[in-house]
């Protein structure tokens, strides 16, 4: 009788419910263990490597497709640019001769092609040379820091200007390139290079000032440079000045000093009213070595530009090859891969631009 209470208690217990609860709990634990094992397998180094490899391959494939499409678009635009500019690529940029030749063509096919060309040119604004009128038809001064700057950075601009009737291009080179004690040799190389580009010897002004040495470690005084620029502008009746921008294309201190000197003249309102001030755009290292494939970025991001065909760029390369003393191995890569051998993009600088950039410089 003493254990009757135990028997009654055991009889009241639902053993099936306990079994089911125990089974469910065990199943849940086993499921959790399987999930944990799967998670451990997913987080294993081998699994992570495989996932990264597959994802990277897919991303790389997309990048290659985008790059291929971009290159094809640039090549198409490059070809279209010279088709829309009759005479470009052949050295013939005289507008009157182009119009006369078009009128003499006379055929229906020529008329249709000319209509399509005019429509696309007005709609897309694509042309090999897109410069302001003052720069195309006036007396232009290019201010550089060293012999070879005119070829390495301003070649497309110089070639485009010298091919136009009525445009006189002058070069003011502020140092004689005596960094390696080769001043006389550098002078002769400059003369020969400018001859290739269509600049006569009488239009070259080469300074030999002791306070403006060809040395990145020597700071050029902006007032000294500004006085030389102003004297040249006034004596030659210059209508447009072209030089480096604030970053000097290659960040060379002498290049930057030329910009700040010219900007100080603009800021002090010392330049003649008819004289405009333009700078060559400095671009990032990737665009700098895209060659003609920077065309798309240039057309969308710049207001003024000069674009050379491969045949025209070969003339600039030959001019650069006259600077034999400077043709190190990396310069050979530069003249075939640099965008500055095919494309120059420029910006007109006004007083507000100068004030802003001077504030940035002071800060």
Q: What is the pLDDT of residues 136-169, one digit of tens each?
A: 668 999 999 999 999 999 999 999 999 988 899 9
pLDDT value at 55 more than 90: no
pLDDT attached to residue 346: 94
Q: Give me the sheet containing 129-130, strands edge to edge.
A: 129-130, 304-307, 343-348, 276-280, 240-244, 139-144, 168-173, 204-206
Rounded to the nearest angstrom, the gap between the alpha carbon of residue 205 and the centroid of all alpha carbons in its chain is 28
Q: How far, CA to CA in Å, does 247 sit from each of 23, 172, 258, 358?
A: 76, 19, 11, 12
pLDDT value at 102 more than 50: no
Q: Which helix (H) or strand (E) holds 173?
A: strand 168-173
| 139-144/168-173 β-pairing | parallel
pLDDT band at residue 118 under the 50/70/90 scheme? low
pLDDT value at 201 more than 80: yes
Domains of the chain, each with CATH number or no CATH: 129-360 (3.40.50.10320)
pLDDT attached to residue 116: 61
pLDDT attached to residue 57: 78
Mean pLDDT of all residues belonging to the chain: 83
pLDDT attached to residue 2: 59
> Considering the entire predicted model, what is its pTM?
0.77
């Amino acid at each position: 009788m003493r254990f009757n209470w135990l028997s009654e208690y055991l009889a009241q217990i639902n053993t099936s419910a306990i079994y089911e609860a125990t089974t469910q709990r065990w199943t849940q634990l086993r499921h959790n263990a399987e999930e944990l094992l799967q998670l451990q397998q997913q987080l294993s180094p081998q699994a992570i490597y495989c996932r990264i490899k597959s994802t990277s391959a897919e991303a790389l494939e997309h990048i290659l497709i985008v790059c291929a499409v971009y290159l094809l678009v640039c090549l198409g635009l490059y070809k279209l640019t010279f088709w829309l500019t009759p005479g470009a690529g052949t050295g013939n940029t005289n507008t009157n001769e182009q119009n006369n030749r078009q009128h003499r063509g006379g055929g229906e096919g020529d008329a249709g092609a000319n209509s399509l060309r005019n429509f696309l040119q007005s709609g897309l604004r694509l042309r090999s040379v897109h410069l302001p009128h003052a720069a195309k038809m006036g007396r232009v001064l290019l201010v550089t820091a060293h012999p070879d700057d005119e070829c390495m950075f301003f070649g497309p601009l110089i070639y485009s200007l010298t091919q136009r009737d009525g445009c006189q291009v002058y070069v003011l080179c502020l140092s004689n390139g005596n960094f390696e004690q080769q001043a006389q040799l550098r002078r002769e190389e400059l003369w020969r290079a400018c001859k290739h580009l269509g600049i006569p010897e009488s239009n070259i002004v080469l300074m030999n000032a002791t306070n403006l040495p060809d040395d990145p470690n020597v700071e050029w005084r902006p007032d000294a440079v500004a006085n030389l620029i102003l004297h040249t502008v006034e004596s030659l009746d210059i209508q447009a000045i072209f030089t480096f921008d604030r970053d000097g294309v290659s960040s060379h201190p002498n290049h930057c000093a030329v910009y700040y000197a010219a900007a100080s003249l603009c800021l002090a309102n010392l330049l003649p009213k008819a004289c405009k001030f333009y700078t060559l755009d400095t671009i990032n290292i990737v665009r700098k070595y895209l060659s003609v494939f920077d065309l798309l970025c240039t057309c969308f991001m710049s207001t003024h530009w000069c674009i050379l065909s491969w045949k025209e760029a070969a003339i600039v390369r030959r001019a650069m090859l006259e600077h034999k003393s400077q043709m190190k191995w990396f310069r050979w890569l530069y003249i075939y891969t640099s965008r500055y051998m095919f494309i120059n993009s420029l910006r007109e600088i006004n007083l507000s631009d100068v004030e802003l950039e001077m504030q940035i410089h002071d800060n």
